Chains A and B, each alone.
Chain A
Amino acid sequence: EAGVTQFPSHSVIEKGQTVTLRCDPISGHDNLYWYRRVMGKEIKFLLHFVKESKQDESGMPNNRFLAERTGGTYSTLKVQPAELEDSGVYFCASSQDIRPDNEQFFGPGTRLTVL
């Protein structure tokens, strides 16, 4: 079974540009999460999809970030326009259901550098 995949693995852009990150969850997983880790800090929650619906987007930093999950399969996270403080590693995770002990499977992350 394929794990969670993310594309691209690295992205270097200039301030003001737009970047779109993609996440393909494990097939059949209704729950999809986006997280971000800034260097040396915690893995911070951004948002949670249940199928195609945004269940919780309380962690999204501001309106420059837009997440979508059309059809309830893969998800994209767009940053427009990017700022220096958006640099970090963006992780996607998926889980089968919402039980508290249901494991979240993480992708390898996308390292975003904004110059």
Chain B
Amino acid sequence: GENVEQHPSTLSVQEGDSAVIKCTYSDSASNYFPWYKQELGKGPQLIIDIRSNVGEKKDQRIAVTLNKTAKHFSLHITETQPEDSAVYFCAASLNSGGYQKVTFGTGTKLQVIP
């Protein structure tokens, strides 16, 4: 089955700096890569995603990159703000029996220091 590794497990940055979270996946059949943000007391929420036919996607201060050859993808947050503090999960999705099966990474706890 698919295996997703995520680094780092914790990340502290000063407000205004950039944060980068990196993930690798094992199954080349994975074709969709969502990123989730989990705030305290809430469930994970999709913040950005990328399909396997795209190398980069940007939405305001967040961007994701995908390298299919190397099987790794990254989340970039620029101009970080205190409200970006949360746990971030990467995930890889592949077709399993006609349905998409999502495998998550272990999470990165991001702390933005004001």
A residues contacting B by CB (< 8 A) are 4, 31, 35, 37, 40-45, 48, 50, 55-56, 91, 93, 98-104, 106-109
Indicate whether B71 reaches chain A with its CB closer than 8 angstroms. no
Q: Judging by beta carbons under 8 Å apart, are B51 and A44 in contact?
A: no
Contact with A along B17-60 (1 / 0, CB 8 A): 00000000000000110101000011111100101000000000
Q: Judging by beta carbons under 8 Å apart, are A56 and B96 in contact?
A: yes
Partner among A50, A98, A100, A106 whose Cβ is within 8 Å of the Cβ of B45: A106
Chain B residues near A91 (CB-CB < 8 A):
43-44
Q: Can you list 8 residue pairs at the A/B interface with Cβ under 8 Å?
A: A35-B104, A42-B89, A42-B107, A43-B44, A43-B107, A44-B104, A106-B36, A108-B42
Q: Judging by beta carbons under 8 Å apart, are A100 and B51 in contact?
A: yes
Q: Judging by beta carbons under 8 Å apart, are A40 and B97 in contact?
A: no
Q: How far is the CB of A13 from chain B (nearest CB, A)?
A: 21
